[in-house]
Structure 1
Amino acid sequence: MEETTELDLRELFYVIRKHMKGILAGLAVGLICAVLISMFVLPKKYTSSVSLYVNNGQPILNNALNVNDINASQKLVGTYIVILQDEHVIEQVAEQLSRPVSAAKLAGMISMGAVNDTEVLSISANTEDPQLSAEICNVFADIAPEVLQRVVKAGSVEVLGEAKAATAPSSPSVVKNALIGALIGLVLMIGWTFYREMADNTVKSEDDLRKHVDVPVLGEIPKIRVEKERR
């Protein structure tokens, strides 16, 4: 059994080495196709973000925050995210944008979350227009303090700066897609190579004959190339 396994492994590497040029060509084609699709087919997305600092509303004693204050603020971040993602709040943001965007579409453009489990709430917008992404974040930052104070009636938020239009697209990632395309091309080419080898039942050597016919081999006629005489 061990000999058969070793033989199969040797054949495996032999097939790969034999068709190495074709396999590398498949890898190159997959890589090039992925790069071209990423650069000229897939839409470019631009991401902007704005940060809000969440305060639980409790007075700070001796200019120092204690663990309870931090934990309370972190819990408020989760509450604020749920409130700001409410459809009524999103509709309010959509109405204040300079261009028409439906609330349903706007909901798919935004994402919110705490920054590294801190009291800072990050609001991000990902669209095909860098100016629109920045505008969405800034409108959220403008209405957030009033909406949260009206609903929660406790705590407060402070906007940390304003969102700016991105100068470079955040997606698609050409490098990431190129690696994925190269891997797909490599796997497909290796699979096609082994399929061809398995489907090929022609006899090319004495070993191939022994695999197909269990009879003794009496002899083998060598293949001799005869070059034509030059006149």
Structure 2
Amino acid sequence: MDKSIFDIMRIFKKRWKIILAFTLAISVGIFLMTIIFIKPQYEATTKMFIGKDTNLSEGYDSNDINLYQQLSKTYSELIESRNTIISAIELAGIDKSPEEVSKNLNVFSMEGTQIIKISYRSEDPEDTFNFINSISDEFIQRAAYLIPNVNIQVLENAIYPEKSVSPNIPLTIVISVFMGMIIGIGVSTLFEMIDSTYKGKDQLEEEFRIPVIGEIPKFREDKKS
């Protein structure tokens, strides 16, 4: 086994209390900070399909598919526009500015499809649910006005967010334990570097390049009763 492995094992054996203390302290500290200072975030998502008006007699061809895929990108910009967001805020009855909402609104034109995915996060599950439905309704109305003869359907309805999506407590615990161990090992290694005493005959032989011909065994005298 490599000598450095023995050194690491020796540090673990000698300084395990320091490593354990740092691991526990940092893990508990980060966990409490996460619980106290980071507010839960709730997310709701809906998907919209963009296609040809079903009232038109012509069928689909490759040009139509390409057209509506390109149109999906235009509609994504429409959803994220300030006017659409303001109208959706008023419709949902939430007390947030357009800038606050915009930061937590994500719109994806799913590549190679005619599907738009809309997701929104906030600290209130009811506001989240109401807003995602409001912006979907507002988008459908505005899109029908701007570009008629386009079929826009809700492909996947938003589900009321019962559970928060962040912070991720299990992941936070794993990361905090890992950080605590790394810091504990780092501190223990620093103590070893500061400690100038010799730890055994191998270290003496390596340092002075002479053989050690004998050792005084370490013993503890039993206390007399």
Alpha-carbon distance in structure 2 between the residues aligned to 1:20 and 1:61:
75
Answer whether contact 2:42 2:166 (CA < 8 A) is retained. Answer: yes
The one-character-per-residue Cα deviations of 1:131-182 (angstroms, maximum 9, x if unpaired) are: 1001111111111122223334563412346534311111111111111111
Distance 1:57 1:17, change over 3 A: farther
**For 1:174 and 1:116, how far apart are their aligned partners in 2?**
32
1:46 counterpart (42, 49, 63): 42
Q: Aligned partners of 1:129 and 1:117: how far apart in 2? A: 34
Q: Which amino acid aligns with 1:10?
A: F
Alignment of 1:93-104 (within 5 A): 93-104=88-99
Distance 1:52 1:149 in 2: 14
CA distance in 2, matches of 1:176, 1:60: 53
Check if 1:226 corresponds to 2:209: no
The Cα offsets for residues 190-222 of structure 1, whole Å up to 9 and x where unpaired, read as: 111211111211123333334555666565433
Equivalent of 2:121, from 120, 126, 134?
126
Find the aligned partners of 1:6 and 1:48 in 2 and give their Cα distance: 53
Match of 1:167 in 2: 162
| Structure 2 unmatched runs, 5+ | none
Deviates more, 1:9-18 or 1:120-129: 9-18
SS in structure 1 opposite 2:2? Answer: helix
> Contact 2:78 / 2:139 at 8 angstroms: preserved in 1?
no
Asked if 1:177 corresponds to 2:172, the answer is yes
With the length of structure 2 as denominator, give the TM-score of the two structures: 0.82
Judged with a 3 Å threshold, the aligned counterparts in structure 2 of structure 1 residues 40 and 219 are, in CA distance, closer, same or farther, namely same
What does residue range 112-151 of structure 1 map to in structure 2 within 5 Å?
A: 112-115=107-110, 117-151=112-146
Q: CA deviation at 1:112?
A: 1.1
Q: Matched residues, percent identical? A: 23
* 1:82-137 deviations in Å (ceiling 9; x for gaps): 12112222222233331321111110121111357532212111000001001111
Amino acid at match of 2:139: A
Does residue 92 (structure 1) correspond to residue 87 (structure 2)? The answer is: yes
CA contact (8 A) 1:30 1:182 kept: yes
Q: Distance in 2 between matches of 1:154 and 1:146?
A: 13
Cα distance between partner residues in 2 of 1:173 and 1:221: 55
CA 223–90 in structure 1, closer or farther in 2 if over 3 Å, else same: same
- Please, what is the CA RMSD of the aligned residues? 2.9
Residue 204 of structure 1 pairs with residue 211 of structure 2:
no
Distance 1:36 1:79, change over 3 A: same
In structure 2, what is the equivalent of residue 35 of structure 1? 31
CA distance, structure 2, for counterparts of residue 70 and residue 17 of structure 1? 66
The answer to whether residue 5 in structure 2 is matched with residue 9 in structure 1 is: yes
C-alpha separation in 2, matches of 1:216 and 1:124? 72
> Could you list the runs of 5+ residues in structure 1 that have no partner in the other structure?
none
Secondary structure of 2:7 counterpart = helix
